[in-house]
Chains A and B, each alone.
Chain A
Amino acid sequence: MWAMIVRRLSVSAISLVLLVTLVFFMIHATPGGPAYSILGSHASPQAVAVLNRQMGLDRPLPEQYLIWWEHLFEGRLGYSYIQHTAVSHLIGVYLERTLLLDLAALALAIAVALVVGLLQGYLADRIGGRIIGFLQIVFYAMPVFFTGILLIYGFSMRLDWLPPGGLGQGLASHARHLVLPVLTLALPIAAGFSRYFGHQAREEYRQDYVRTARARGLSEWRIATHHVLRNAVRPFITLVGMMIPALFVGGVLTESVFNYPGLGWLLWRSALDQDYPTLSAITLLIGVLTILGNLIADLLNSILDVRVRYE
């Protein structure tokens, strides 16, 4: 098992190095280089040269690459000339809000997927199972901005139960502000997750051990929670790990629909403003979160899957 963990960790480490390198070259591939995007495209060559010297952009590329690593280790992600703050500070503020939104949506989507998926696996081709399958496609296909606007129209404008967007003050208000964005973000993800997990659960329900369990008089609840879930959940964990970037992308749209100042909103703003230091830092962060998500999913799987553990 330890060998497996070490192997898995080194894969993550290699991915991380590749990611950092890729983002480095991405920055240098921007048209005109960073100086132009900071000073504007009509900047005089003298001004650009001065700025390049200040930022060390006139040094050879390998040296810049090493400095890039050094800065990353020190947690220095650059300076946003648009927002006029250090990017690391910016990220810290916005990341917290995004994590709150994304993790709440993820938890909701997983919970819904497990319940709906088990039910769907149990019902299989019966009418209830088909209705679930149909709803999954509908919700999966509904774009975030559409559901978001629909929910705002219903719950904020018509019913006036929940705020249509923005950030709340204090815990209760913050929670109230989160309800609609979390629902909007979670809905298509829950539809996708439950379809995948429902398929897994259905496969498990066809296995003989389910019949054996029924023949022993175990209740359907017991069979679902102690037998089917245990076996169907492993591939699902892998999927959840892989879906973290998609979650974030959905978050970008959700945050802009609800005007929720999170990392997605920041990403959207920085892209419009051509704020490269911020953009690259966010890209880096999403990459790290993706690598981390997959790592956690795989480690969780190896703990659950005895056959992997015994290999």
Chain B
Amino acid sequence: MSGAPLVAVEDLRVTARRAGRTYPIVEDVSFKIEAGGLLALVGESGCGKSLTAAALLGLLPWGLAVDGGQIRLEGQNVLELTPTQWRRLRGRKVGAVFQNPLAALNPSLPIWKQVVESAELTFRLDRAAARARALELLELVGVPQAAQRLDDYPHQFSGGMRQRVAIALALACDPRLLVADEPTTALDLITQAEILRLLNRLRLERGLAVLFITHDLSLVAEYADQVMVMYAGRVVEQAEARRFFAGPRHPYSRALLGAIPRLATPEVRLTDIEGLPPSPFEYPPGCRFAPRCPRVIEPCRRELPPPAGDQRQRAFCHRPFAQEPG
């Protein structure tokens, strides 16, 4: 590890205002990603993973705000920037791809215009340079016969191709970090694998850091070098990927891994988790997973769980599973 990490989020806190009161939606989220690193942020719907990404991009929905902590991009705390300064960083330092590739592109503009729009404005490219850059980007993300497809409209592309185009859009200004918020969820399995391989290639070849958000742990097992699991707005486990997949220590992480079907061992029953996650407006005191946890003990219901483990694998749990050698 050399110097400051590309992205460092410390004690991030996102709150919602409702009827004069503030409710924490995301709390105490801290992570770092190095250039070329891939952090998988995993959790159920509503656990705060997408809001963490939105906070990182400065695109929180109206009514939500960052209420504490730091977001450092290449050492600079972006929370201290004015909205315009932060906007100028988007695209240039951080790019983003989202879940639904069918809606991510403007239906009434040819794709080359969309792909280079941000680069065109940022670097003041003329038409020829912009088209050349668009071609370069589409080839980078693996759109076949890109030269013939520059003038096509989004509806002429398949879902997987549109997600590639969306990635090209995000990369137009050469950002150092790509936030990928469930980019493969809407795609079929084979296309999912292709998109993941593309993202992996981009980080290996170009040193692009990736924050990959997903609810599907099996998807990231192969490529992630860090895993962070969130539940009800808090991080429950954070680990190097190898350690994590060797043996997750938090009961919730175990349950998530247990919910993945495995072809190799058909006789094992899939485990599911009883109950539903709590609403942000009625988080229980103590560990938020306690009401659903099979290993719950008395302190879980009273006190926030302390971190257990070391830098390489840390679970926020009163009664974590033992660490596997790895």
| B104 and A218 form a contact (CB under 8 A) | no
- B37: min CB distance to chain A, Å: 20
Q: Tell whether A46 is near chain B: CB-to-CB under 8 Å.
A: no
| A307 and B59 form a contact (CB under 8 A) | no
Give Cα distance in the complex from A310 to B121, angstroms. 29
B interface footprint on A200-230 (CB within 8 Å = 1, 0 otherwise): 0000000111011111111100100011001
| A216 and B108 form a contact (CB under 8 A) | no
| Complex interface: chain A residues within 8 A of B153 (CB) | 306-307, 310
| A208 and B103 form a contact (CB under 8 A) | yes
| B106 and A230 form a contact (CB under 8 A) | yes
| Complex interface: chain A residues within 8 A of B75 (CB) | none
| A208 and B100 form a contact (CB under 8 A) | yes
| B88 and A217 form a contact (CB under 8 A) | yes
Q: Which of A124, A207, A214, A306 contacts B59 (CB 8 A)?
A: A214
| B105 and A217 form a contact (CB under 8 A) | no
| Complex interface: chain A residues within 8 A of B88 (CB) | 217
| B90 and A216 form a contact (CB under 8 A) | yes
| A231 and B121 form a contact (CB under 8 A) | no
| Complex interface: chain B residues within 8 A of A212 (CB) | 96, 98, 104-105, 166, 169
Give Cα distance in the complex from A211 to B89, angstroms. 15
Give the interface size class of chain A. 20 to 34
Among residues of A, the one whose C-beta sits closest to the C-beta of B105 is: A209
| Closest A-B pairs by Cβ, 3 of them | A217-B91, A217-B90, A208-B103
| B91 and A230 form a contact (CB under 8 A) | no
- A121: min CB distance to chain B, Å: 13
Sample of 18 further A-B pairs with CB below 8 A, known A211-B59, A212-B96, A214-B90: A207-B103, A208-B104, A209-B103, A211-B98, A212-B98, A215-B98, A215-B179, A216-B95, A216-B117, A216-B118, A216-B169, A216-B172, A218-B91, A218-B121, A219-B87, A226-B109, A227-B109, A310-B153
Give the interface size class of chain B. 20 to 34
Q: Tell whether A305 is near chain B: CB-to-CB under 8 Å.
A: yes
A-B contact pairs, 18 of them (CB 8 A): A208-B98, A211-B104, A212-B166, A213-B106, A215-B95, A215-B98, A215-B179, A216-B91, A216-B117, A217-B87, A217-B88, A217-B92, A217-B118, A219-B87, A230-B106, A231-B107, A231-B108, A310-B153
Give Cα distance in the complex from A111 to B90, angstroms. 32
Q: Tell whether A107 is near chain B: CB-to-CB under 8 Å.
A: no
Q: Tell whether B6 is near chain A: CB-to-CB under 8 Å.
A: no
Give Cα distance in the complex from A207 to B173, angstroms. 23
- B20: min CB distance to chain A, Å: 16
Q: Tell whether B55 is near chain A: CB-to-CB under 8 Å.
A: no
Give Cα distance in the complex from A231 to B114, angstroms. 14
Give Cα distance in the complex from A216 to B57, angstroms. 10
| A218 and B92 form a contact (CB under 8 A) | no
A209-B106 contact in complex given A216-B117, A217-B88, C-beta closer than 8 Å: yes
Please report which residues of chain A, range 258-311, place their CB below 8 angstroms from some CB of chain B when the two chains form the complex. 304-307, 310
Q: Tell whether A59 is near chain B: CB-to-CB under 8 Å.
A: no
- A59: min CB distance to chain B, Å: 56
| B108 and A304 form a contact (CB under 8 A) | yes
Q: Tell whether A126 is near chain B: CB-to-CB under 8 Å.
A: yes
- B157: min CB distance to chain A, Å: 13
A216-B170 contact in complex given A208-B103, A227-B106, C-beta closer than 8 Å: yes
A interface footprint on B238-274 (CB within 8 Å = 1, 0 otherwise): 0000000000000000000000000000000000000
Question: Which of A124, A212, A227, A231 has the most CB atoms of chain B within a 10 A radius of its CB?
Answer: A212
Question: Which of A124, A209, A227 has the most CB atoms of chain B within a 10 A radius of its CB?
Answer: A209
Please report which residues of chain B, range 143-174, place their CB below 8 angstroms from some CB of chain A when the two chains form the complex. 153, 155, 166, 169-170, 172-173
| Complex interface: chain B residues within 8 A of A307 (CB) | 107, 153, 155
Q: Tell whether B123 is near chain A: CB-to-CB under 8 Å.
A: no
| B121 and A222 form a contact (CB under 8 A) | yes
| Complex interface: chain B residues within 8 A of A222 (CB) | 121
| Complex interface: chain B residues within 8 A of A211 (CB) | 59, 98, 104
| Complex interface: chain A residues within 8 A of B89 (CB) | 217
A215-B108 contact in complex given A208-B98, A209-B103, C-beta closer than 8 Å: no
Give Cα distance in the complex from A120 to B131, angstroms. 34
| Complex interface: chain A residues within 8 A of B57 (CB) | 215
Among residues of B, the one whose C-beta sits closest to the C-beta of A210 is: B106
Give Cα distance in the complex from A217 to B88, angstroms. 6
| B90 and A215 form a contact (CB under 8 A) | yes
Please report which residues of chain A, range 237-260, place their CB below 8 angstroms from some CB of chain B when the two chains form the complex. none
| Complex interface: chain A residues within 8 A of B108 (CB) | 230-231, 304-306
- B90: min CB distance to chain A, Å: 4
Give Cα distance in the complex from A40 to B255, angstroms. 94
Among residues of A, the one whose C-beta sits closest to the C-beta of B179 is: A215
Question: Which of B106, B118, B170 has the most CB atoms of chain A within a 10 A radius of its CB?
Answer: B106
| Complex interface: chain A residues within 8 A of B109 (CB) | 226-227, 230
| B169 and A126 form a contact (CB under 8 A) | no
Give Cα distance in the complex from A222 to B89, angstroms. 16
Give Cα distance in the complex from A214 to B104, angstroms. 11
- A38: min CB distance to chain B, Å: 56
Give Cα distance in the complex from A305 to B109, angstroms. 10
| B117 and A218 form a contact (CB under 8 A) | yes
- A238: min CB distance to chain B, Å: 15
Give Cα distance in the complex from A206 to B109, angstroms. 18
| A215 and B170 form a contact (CB under 8 A) | yes
| A215 and B117 form a contact (CB under 8 A) | no
Question: Which of A212, A215, A306 has the most CB atoms of chain B within a 10 A radius of its CB?
Answer: A215
| Complex interface: chain B residues within 8 A of A216 (CB) | 90-91, 95, 117-118, 169-170, 172-173
| B87 and A231 form a contact (CB under 8 A) | no
